[in-house]
Structure 1
Amino acid sequence: MRLIASILTASLAVVALPAAAQDAEPFTGASVVALGGIDHTSSGPGDPLTGFVYGGAVTYDLGEGKLRYGVEAEATGSTMDGCYTMGGTAVRSCTSFGRDLYVGGRVGVVLNPSLMLYGKAGYTNARATGTFDDPSTAASPDLRFEGNDDGYRLGGGLEYDAGKFLIRTEYRYSDYGADRRHQGTVAVGVRF
C-alpha cells in the first residue's frame, strides 16, 4: 500500500511541476496519458493467454537538442485470464492477471520536431490470482492463491507531438521470473 501511495504522490508532483521548458523544447515537461493495448503471456504451463491491457501513466521529460530523458509511473489492469487442465490429470488450474504498477526511466532521441524514438526500463509489480481444482475431491476449488510478483520491464516506442496533445505507440517486455509478458500499447495524452 505504501508503494501505491508513493506512486500517486510522485504522480501528483509531476503533474504540478511547471512546464516552462516545454515552450523551448518539444517532448519536455509533464504529461498524462490513457493507454490500451494487447497483453500476452506464454510462459506458464498452459496455453498462451492474451487479453486487453488498460490504464494510465504520468511522465516528466527533460533535455535539449535531440536528447530527452525522464521518469515515468504507470498503473494498468488486464483482462488476461484463462484455465487449463494439468497434463494427464483432471486437475484444472485457472489464472487471472490483475493490476500492474510500473516505475522507471526513459531516454529518447528527437527524430524531428514532431516525432521522438524512446526506450524505457524500470521496476514492475503485477498481481495474479488463481485456483487449482481437482474434481475428485469434495472441496471446490481445492486451492486459491493471490500474489504479487516483482520484476523488470524493458520497452521502446514512438511518441508523436501534436502540440499540447501526444500519441504514443509502444512495445514492452516484462519479466517476473516465472511469468513473462509482452504488451503492445497505444496511448493518447496531454503534455503540460
Structure 2
Amino acid sequence: MNKFALFGAAALFAAPVAANAQAYVQAQTGLDSVSVNGGSSEGLTYGVAAGYDFPVREALFFGIQAGISGSTTKECASDLLATGDKLCVRAGRDLSAIARVGTNVGDTTKLYVLGGYTNARLRVTYNDGVNKDSDGVNLDGFRLGAGFEHDFGGNLFGKVEYNYSNYEQGYSRHYGLAGLGVKF
C-alpha cells in the first residue's frame, strides 16, 4: 500500500511541473571534428532534436532532449594493400539522449550545460578495384556540452552549442552547432 501512496504523491507533484513544460523541436547544423586514435578529420553535421524544458525555480530549468544527426566527415586512404585500392571511414548517424540544466538570463536568453548518452555509427568501405566491401559498427559513448539559447519572439528560438562526445574504441568528436527551433 505504501508503494501506491508514494506513486500517487509523485504523480501529484509531477503533474504541475509537466503542465509548465515547454516542448520544442529544432534543426541544427555545424562543424564536426572526428578523432580516431589520434588522427582527425573535419566535416559538417546536420540533424534534428526535440525535447522538453521544465522550470524548476524562477531562473533555473531542467530539460531532456533526444536527437539524430548525420555527418559529411569522411577519411580515405589509397594503395594500402594493393595498387589502386581504397579504404574509407565515414561518420554515420549519431543518436543522443541528453539532459540539460541551465539558467534563464532575462526573459529571452538561456545558458545551459548538458550531458548524456550517445550512439554513433561508423561505416568502413574497402574497394580493391574488383570487389567493394562495406561494414558498419555502432559505438556507445557519452556527451558533454554547453550552450546559449535566445528567443526571437513568438515561438521561434536560436541556439549556439558546443558538444564533446567520447565513444568506445578510441573514437571521439567535437561539434560546434547552430540551431533554429520552434517551441510549443
Shorter-chain TM-score bucket reads 0.7 to 0.9
Greater Rg over alpha carbons, structure: 2
Residue in 2 aligned with 1:165? Answer: 156
Unaligned runs of 5+ in 2: 1-17
Are residues 1:67 and 2:60 paired?
yes
| Aligned pairs (5 A) from 1:18-97 | 21=20, 28-44=21-37, 46=39, 48-63=40-55, 64-84=57-77, 92-97=86-91
1:144 CA displacement: 3.2
Number of equivalenced pairs: 164
Q: Deviations over 1:124-149 (max 9, x none)?
A: 111111134668xxx644x5321111
User: TM-score of the superposition, structure 2-length normalised?
Assistant: 0.79
Question: Which of these residues, 176, 183, 187, is aligned with residue 167 of structure 2?
Answer: 176
Q: Deviations over 1:102-140 (max 9, x none)?
A: 0111101112111110011111111111134668xxx64
Residue in 2 aligned with 1:154? Answer: 144
1:96 CA displacement: 0.8
Are residues 1:113 and 2:107 paired?
yes
| 2:51 partner letter | T
Farther off after superposition, 157-166 or 77-86: 77-86
User: TM-score of the superposition, structure 1-length normalised?
Assistant: 0.76
Q: Deviations over 1:33-81 (max 9, x none)?
A: 01111111133465x2111111110010111311100110001111111
Runs of 4+ that moved beyond 4 A: 85-92, 132-135
Question: Which of these residues, 149, 155, 178, is aligned with residue 186 of structure 1?
Answer: 178
Identify if the C-alpha distance between structure 1 residues 29 and 179 changes in structure 2 by more than 3 Å, giving closer, same or farther.
same
Does the CA-based 8 Å contact 2:115-2:145 persist in structure 1? yes
For 2:38 and 2:115, the matched residues in 1 are separated by 27
